[in-house]
Structure 1
Amino acid sequence: MTRKLFPLGAAVLGVAAVLFLLRRPLMMTAPTCMAGRWHGCYDTFNGVVLMTLVTVPLAVLVAYALAWRRQKRGVPAAWRLSLAEVGMVHGTVPFVWLVLMPGAAAGQVPGRVSLVPLRDLVTMGPLGITGNLLVFAALGFFAPMRFAAPASVPRVLALGAACSVLVETAQYVLRLDRVSSVDDVLVNAAGAALAALASRRWWRTSARASSHPPAVHTAA
């Protein structure tokens, strides 16, 4: 039971830490978001983070409902599968939303591309690097727990890179006044791989169990 609840406990502690660090800017955005106003809430970093944290209880309830249904049907590892599904969505969609948020001159300037590796990395700064590491961290953490196919670090790295390429391509095609950078792809993919390593104790066991199904003994 302790092993089942550990990911949930870690998530709660992570949310508490984010709330403590961002409590002042989040409280400044809270009135606008609580009023349901698009401008000033859903088109700002603080607003998206606030709404992501506010909806954590709803995400937990959805995970509980999914796990309950699976347990009723006798599905093994019901809690792990349900937490992984909800975690992938709730932990990835807000970051993708932020990355695809239009800049001030969206639609007015052509798309910009930076294909020289490590050139933009030095200008990201610690906050930019941390943010890029987190974009697909939830996907890298939970995907190998849910699916056996990506249950290896190289595959998660490739998954994170592929998703990042799609996002960077969307930035360019939609002319969002953002730079589509190869360094963003590299850091996004690295974040997914590092997150996968953090959840390895759960997904490696799952992968082995899936690749070696129990033998069926028949009566002589």
Structure 2
Amino acid sequence: MPWDGVVNHRTTSSARPRVVLLTAALAVLVVVLRRPLTMSAPRCLSGHWHGCYDTENGVLLMTLLGVPLAALVAWALARYRRAPTITSVAEVGMLYGTVPFLWLALMPGPGAGTVPGRVSLIPLQDLVAMGPLGIAGNLLIFAALGFFAPVRFAALASVPRVLALGAACSALVETAQYVLRLDRVSSVDDVLVNAVGAALAALLSRPWWRDRRAVTVDQAERP
């Protein structure tokens, strides 16, 4: 169909600069974090749970090392189902990019099970205490969900909807931290920053879902 060709060409052209930007950002992230990541490498690569999967550095290291395997799974899934590759990439990306950060968010603190749950409901009060790394980490928790969800699901192809999705998912995580008594503070600022991270990621993936939504609407309006 001619329209499909136009859409694919336009999407590819508009998405290329963002692909370059994302690749550069990942490269910078790896360079910045290379020292703390390599500190966990001996424990992780020797198969030890303690010192690897119960530390932030270890979880991030294993997540980065597993990216080629995740890409292979997405490719195999697309081949098996004979579905568009972007669909499988979005599905695998949502899971693979979110689960490790959920693991970190739900990792018990030293007083887990004994310290009562703590709640902070005053907006913007905890941002200073988070610091740059804390804010960056909170922005990334649902970034993969925000990036890939509107690509996979047409109903979520909207930044406000992704913002609401990120806020809802974050609220569930904060509630779990409180109910399970994980020795963490359930903060409204975490919800706000998590939701903003998902929305910003959705803006980055907009070239992939904006034109697909336009095609869907056009096809629905045809007699």
TM-score (norm 2): 0.87
In structure 2, what is the equivalent of residue 169 of structure 1?
A: 175
1:73-111 CA-to-partner distances (Å, cap 9, x unmatched) read 3x4xx1211111111111111111111111111111010
Moved more, 22-31 or 106-115: 22-31
**Aligned residue identity for 1:96:** L
**Aligned residue identity for 1:151:** A
**Aligned residue identity for 1:44:** T
RMSD between superposed Cα atoms in Å? 2.2
Tell whether 2:71 aligns with 1:60: yes
- Mapping for residues 46-125 of structure 1, pairs under 5 Å: 46-70=57-81, 73=82, 75=83, 78-125=84-131
Find the residue that maps to 1:53 and give its secondary structure.
helix
**Aligned residue identity for 1:90:** Y
182, 195, 210: which one pairs with 1:189? 195
Number of paired residues? 212
TM-score (norm 1): 0.88
Name stretches of at least 5 consecutive residues in structure 1 with no aligned partner.
none
Name stretches of at least 5 consecutive residues in structure 2 with no aligned partner.
1-7
Deviation at 1:15, TM superposition (A): 4.0
In structure 2, what is the equivalent of residue 21 of structure 1?
A: 32
Which gives a bigger RCO, structure 1 or 2 (Cα 8 Å, sep 6+)? 2
Q: Give the fraction of aligned pairs with identical amino acids, expressed as a percent.
A: 67
- Mapping for residues 191-206 of structure 1, pairs under 5 Å: 191-206=197-212
Partner Cα separation in structure 1 for residue 201 and residue 26 of structure 2: 16
Find the residue that maps to 1:113 and give its secondary structure.
strand
Partner Cα separation in structure 2 for residue 58 and residue 15 of structure 1: 17
Deviation at 1:20, TM superposition (A): 1.5
Kindly indicate which of the two structures has a greater share of residues assigned to helix.
2
